[in-house]
Structure 1
Amino acid sequence: MIFKTKKEKKFVYIEAGEGHPMVLLHGLMGGLSNFDAMLNYFSDKGFKVFVPQLPIYDLPVLNTNLTSISKYVIRFIEEHIEGPVTLVGNSMGGHVGLITALARPDLIQHLVLTGSSGLYERTFGDSFPRKGDKQYIRRKTEEVFYNPAVATDELVDEVFATVNDRMKGIKTVILARSAIKHNMQKDLPNISCPTCIIWGKQDNVTPPDVAVEMHKDIPNSDLFWIDECGHAAMMEKPNEFNEILYNWIKDKI
């Protein structure tokens, strides 16, 4: 199914289905299309699914940080959704989810983390914006997945276009550094909502040790592994990911 984006005020998002509200947060180099399989699956399972486009490149440089993005998510939930939500975050989106769950626990009924930053992650680093070097970008994009074929030409082209946009490249580096600085080790024990951690066993960006540490520190958490899977489990192994999440959440709503 092809989902149409909506634009209202400052929000661009996809909305599908009816039922319990679920909000999906993409990563730093991610986008709305990362969640196509989840949208199809959960919109047919009694969920109203929202995928907001995070303002990664829209914030003023001085406000380009994870806390500002979390405030954007909070406004989105307050203005578009009634009642607390299930918040699902991949990579940087998971980090934003952690910040949001701590800031506004009244809005978050469940938290779902996959390949989430917040403790440790390997990023492109200072060498990220190598303009014109498409093979480098292809190699870095392929490293996100266990199966490099998941890094399609279309996906590589999207990343390449971002890198070659000067301001987007700058803001990408700023946010990557913000994620590294915003370590949440001491905050994780204060996450009060039930938390589902779904991780690729071969995640090269946020290694499996990160998932183990999060599971240890978040009080009411469950950890699930997906084999032969990298950093974006909902893209690389969508059927397994969706079944794990649905079985975990179906008796909690």
Structure 2
Amino acid sequence: MDFVLKEENGFSYIEKGEGEVLLLLHGLMGALSNWEDVINEFSKEYKVIIPMLPIYDLPLLTTGVKTLSKYVHRFVKFKGLSDFVLIGNSLGGHVALIYTLAHPALVKALVLTGSSGLYENAFGGSFPRRESMAFVQEKVEYTFYDPKTATKELVDEVYAMVNDRHKVIRILAMAKSAIRHNMAKDVHKIYMPTALIWGKNDKITPPDVAEEFNKLIPNSELHWIDQCGHAPMMEQPLEFNRLLKGFLQKLKG
């Protein structure tokens, strides 16, 4: 990925393009590179910003989805952002929901894809046995509809994470925090336009999660992507970008 990671004021982030801001939030095992196709497509007419969430840098006692939301707000204040479109995948979607409820005046619209917040089946209900590369590969493949999307590079990244004791403890703490922080009773308060762009074959946040979000969030619309798992912007980037573009054009009215 040929994007420059900026380091400023204790924040690491990518920023590309000019115009209205799209603020992107990555997932628990995700990375900035997950959004590569979105950056390439939308930085032509938007300012695309992706902060690196400090999942592995928080003190263990404060590792949780609410803390990440507060971190995002510090970043938003640092960058002087307002009236932006907030887009989150997986855990990033969960953080986006908490953020939107806490700071509704700053968020113009919300896009969730494979978001946690209601229910998720992370790693297929178990955590990888650290000694087994084959097991890690199987669980990374579980994220996608087409196992070929789980490249060797991606599997190696996750394998390195789960072999790092410092990181694995925080991954587990963050995953537990996400499961505890169920948002079913809160999301009806989200009033801004919301697009749910979901993989029809998502096994981690299955289709009924998307349908539940669609039912609970008043001003939401649900778009399915066929032959697609938990990370549509990686597995079906052309279709994801097409649906996102349609939603953004509708916002422009």
Structure 1, residues 157-205: CA drift from partner, whole Å, max 9, x if none?
A: 0000000000100110111111110000000100121100000000000
Give the Cα–Cα distance (whole angstroms) in 2 for the partners of residues 77 and 53 of structure 1: 13
Gaps of 5+ in 2: none
Alignment correspondent of 1:209: 208
Tell me the residue number matched to 1:30: 30
**Partner SS state of residue 250, structure 1:** helix
1:50 counterpart SS class: strand
How many angstroms does 1:124 deviate by?
Answer: 3.1
One-letter code aligned to 1:20? E
Structure 1 residue runs of 4 or more that deviate by more than 6 Å after TM superposition = none
Secondary structure of 2:134 counterpart: helix
| Offset of residue 82 of structure 1 | 3.1
Structure 1: distance between partners of 2:202 and 2:168:
24
Per-residue deviation, residues 116-167 of structure 1 (Å, max 9, x unmatched): 0000100138842522211000000000000100100000000000000001
Q: Which moved more, 1:124-133 or 1:113-122?
A: 124-133
> Which residue number in structure 1 is paired with residue 151 of structure 2?
152
State the Cα distance separating 1:78 from its structure 2 match. 1.5
How far apart, CA to CA, are the structure 1 residues paired with 2:92 and 2:52? Answer: 11
SS in 1 for 2:156: helix
CA contact 2:20–2:47 (8 Å) conserved in 1:
yes
Match for 1:15: what amino acid? E
The match for 2:42 is 42
CA distance in 2 between counterparts of 1:166 and 1:84 reads: 39
Residue 251 of structure 1 deviates from its aligned partner by: 3.2
In structure 2, how many angstroms separate the alpha carbons of the residues matched to 1:50 and 1:157? 26
Is the 1:77–1:107 Cα contact (8 Å) retained in structure 2? no
Give yes or no for contact 2:145–2:227 (8 Å, CA) kept in 1.
yes
Distance 1:150 1:124 in 2: 16
Q: Confirm or deny: 8 A CA contact 1:118 1:183 kept in the other structure.
A: yes
Please report how far the alpha carbon of residue 72 of structure 1 lies from its aligned counterpart in structure 2 after TM superposition: 0.6
Compute the RMSD of aligned alpha carbons.
Answer: 1.2
Q: CA deviation at 1:208?
A: 0.1
User: What secondary structure, in the 3-state scheme, does the structure 2 residue paired with 1:203 have?
Assistant: coil
CA distance in 1, matches of 2:142, 2:123: 11
| Equivalent position amino acid for 1:18 in 2 | E
Which residue type is aligned with residue 108 of structure 2? Q
Contact 1:122 1:205 (8 Å CA) reproduced: yes
Q: Which moved more, 1:102-111 or 1:76-85?
A: 76-85
Matches within 5 A, 1:30-179: 30-44=30-44, 46-124=45-123, 127-179=126-178
CA distance in 2, matches of 1:109, 1:167: 36
User: Is the 8 Å Cα contact of residues 93 and 116 (structure 1) preserved in structure 2?
Assistant: yes
Contact 1:126 1:173 survives alignment (8 Å): no
Q: Taking every aligned residue pair, what percent have the same amino acid on both sides?
A: 55
* 2:77 aligned partner, one-letter code: E
Match of 2:246 in 1: 247
Task: Identify the residue that residue 223 of structure 1 maps to in structure 2.
Answer: 222
- 1:205-235 alpha-carbon deviations (Å, 9 max, x no partner): 0000000000000000010000000000000
Task: Tell me the TM-score normalised to structure 2 length.
Answer: 0.97
Report the residue type matching 1:199 in the other structure. Answer: W
SS at match of 2:122: coil
Letter in 2 for 1:154: E
SS at match of 2:224: strand
Counterpart contact for 2:93–2:113, Cα < 8 Å: yes
Aligned residue pairs total 252
* CA distance in 2: counterparts of 1:127 and 1:191, whole angstroms: 32
TM-score scaled to structure 1, two decimals? 0.97
Tell me, in whole angstroms, the C-alpha distance in 2 between the residues paired with 1:153 and 1:130: 18
